[in-house]
Amino acid sequence: MSSKESNQAWGSRLGLILAMAGSAVGLANFLRFPIQAVENGGGAFLIPYLVCFVVMGIPLLWVEWSVGRLGGKSGHHSTPFMFDKMTKGWLWKFTGVFGIFTNMVVIAYYSYIESWSLGYIIQTVMGTFNGLGQTGVAHYFSEYTNFLSGSFGGSAFSLVIFLLTLFINVYILSKGISGIEKVARIGMPLLLLFGALLAVKGLTLGTSGASAAVPDANAWEGLNFLWEVKFDSLLDPKVWLAAAGQIFFTLGLGWGFIQAYASYVDAKDDIALNAMASGFTNEFVEIVIGSLILIPLASGYLGLDWVKENASFGMAFQTMPYLFDQLGSILGPIAGVLWFGLLFFAGITSSLAMGTPWMGFFESKFDWTRSKSAWSLGLVALLLGLPAVIFYEYGVLDEFDFWVGTVSLVVLAMIETIIFSWVFGLEKGWKEITEGAEIKVPTIFKFLLKYITPTLIIIVFLSAVFTPENNDWLGYIGGLFQGEGWEFDSSSIVSKIMYSDLHQQIADTTDPDKLELLKDKMLYSKISRFILTAAFAFMVYLVYIANKRMEKKEN
């Protein structure tokens, strides 16, 4: 039986689609995609990317929407009991813990990154970046994020804005699905508008950003580098794996919030077309808008060579304010507010989605009020977020992000596709996808759902476990047949478990200060892993208690 609080529903179809799209649209659309494309064959990257979108992205969207709506019919608004409903046996519900755990941890540090956007909007309006120069802007970011080694001023402001951002999220979550829908209906159109304006700038900048320092700077060279087709890259497994990974992250798959959102969809409403709408909204933002901002603007002021060497996630805050400052005293702040405003809307629509599984779990399984659920999440996010914030330079955020924001997603997606297609059964699953559908779902997707999508996800997972050095798949697979060994890349799960990279850095360094920092990083990493393990165990325990409560009510 569901509590009164969990008997919520989406107010409108457009609100649902915008909220779902918003949950997926995030920093990755504007930062990760263009960099992945640049590193993996430019225009040719779109081929494996779009193939993976069709054979993995869309099927998984349908799976997650179906799992959610099915669970919602029985008052389940988070993955543990959605999986329980679809399976026999007591164990499956505990695999669904990932669908709450992931969001509970990620919202803690994601809201911190989201708060950077809000903080940078304020600093842009205040003129902090005016005339600061490229080095000054990068240094400001360092001061903004390093509590322990930076001056307290910058990071005190950062902490206040983080608390404000958490409060905003908690407040909106306490208003329930209708609150989230309102934010999506305002935030997503604004995001699209801001993005379009910046994209027009990216397309039209050309050589006008060149300076005496960088006379060859040319935005069109950046666009050319991004879109020029390099067909030989298609033969590299690394490119296909990168494409699959990007589809995974960009669509918000494997988190558990799509299922949570879908659990509030009416049982007879369409999900097939709705899922396509939210998926393609994300793709529009990524391919059409996202690709026209970061790379061309950076190339247009700093030159393509600089972009090739320095393109990274950090550019959003460490470089973009400098680029906008080049636009002058009026256009510069406007562009800065558009960019950081866009990132903030992208961030908050995602963090609200991350809060929903927790809300749904406590409202429906412990009869908590919306307010209690929201504030408890805020407290947990603060407790988990503060170590990530304060010990940022010791890699705590990176540790959380690797295990929870990367590995955990793939694990949940693997489990749910196996449940959907093999345990629950594809015939029943297909019926769930097509119930109320307003489009004819091509039957080829039955084959994809049963065999291809699960296989691809397993390959993505195994490739993350065993990533060879420098992602040289062809080289090491060929070497295996010749009896050669396998060197793990520092990004592989195997290397991460064994701290191979840190051990190597410790062995290589002769600088005593750096040695001290590396040893501290290893200690903080171990503490972070302990925290994550304890948090997961805590959620498993709560699911156990919730199950006992349900059994008692039924008896």
Partner 1 sequence: MSTSAIITMVIIQGTVTIIAARIYYLVMNPPKDSEKPYQNKEE
Do 64 and 20 meet the contact criterion of CB atoms below 8 Å apart?
A: no
Which of 180, 165, 164 shows the shortest CA–CA distance to 353? 180
HEC string of 230-298?
CHHHHHCHHHHHHHHHHHHHHCCCCCCHHHHHHCCCCCCCCCHHHHHHHHHHHHHHHHHHHHHCHHHHH
CB of 409 to partner 1, least distance (A): 24
Cα torsion angle, 245, 246, 248, 249, sign? positive
**DSSP helix/strand/coil, 486:** coil
Given candidates 14, 234, 459, 550, which one binds partner 1 under the rule CB under 8 A? 14
Q: Which is nearer to partner 1, 17 or 183 (CB)?
A: 17
Binding-site member from 157, 171, 280, 366 for partner 1 (CB under 8 A): 280
543 binds partner 1 (CB under 8 A): no
Q: Which is nearer to partner 1, 270 or 325 (CB)?
A: 270
Report the distance separating Cα 44 and Cα 32, nearest Å. Answer: 16
Task: Supply 419's token pair.
Answer: 């449940």
Give the C-alpha distances (Å, rounded to integers) separating 130 from 127, 136, 276, 322: 5, 10, 43, 8
Of the candidate residues 142, 224, 376, 505, the single one contacting partner 1 (CB under 8 A): 224
Q: Which is nearer to partner 1, 292 or 327 (CB)?
A: 292
Scanning 221-229, 252-260, 362-370, 419-427 for contacts with partner 1 by CB under 8 A, the matching segment is: 221-229
**With CB under 8 A, what is the number of residues at the site for partner 1?**
34
287 lines the binding site for partner 1 (CB under 8 A): yes
43 forms part of the interface with partner 1 (CB under 8 A): yes
Q: Which is nearer to partner 1, 425 or 436 (CB)?
A: 436
Please tell me whether residue 527 binds partner 1 under the rule CB under 8 A.
no
Interface with partner 1 includes 497 (CB under 8 A)?
no
The nearest distance, CB 276 to partner 1, in angstroms, is: 5
Which helix (H) or strand (E) element contains residue 79?
A: helix 79-86
Question: Rounded distance, CA 244 to CA 247, Å?
Answer: 5
Q: According to the binding rule CB under 8 A, does residue 276 interact with partner 1?
A: yes
Candidate list 274, 364, 406, 471; residue touching partner 1; CB under 8 A: 274
Residues 434-473 that bind partner 1 (CB under 8 A): 434-440
43 touches 228 (CB < 8 A): yes
Answer for which of 19, 25, 46, 352 binds partner 1 (CB under 8 A) is 46
CB 42 within 8 A of CB 225: yes
Give CA separation, 434 vs 159, 278, 430, 442, 500, in Å. Answer: 47, 17, 6, 10, 48
Which residue in 17, 82, 205, 415 binds partner 1 (CB under 8 A)? 17
Near partner 1 by CB under 8 A, which window of 99-107, 323-331, 428-436, 455-463? 428-436
Which among 281, 222, 226 is positioned nearest to 250, based on CA atoms?
281
552 binds partner 1 (CB under 8 A): no
Give the residues lining the site for partner 1 (CB under 8 A).
13-14, 17, 42-43, 46, 50, 220-221, 223-224, 226-229, 270, 273-274, 276-277, 280-281, 283-284, 287-288, 291, 434-440
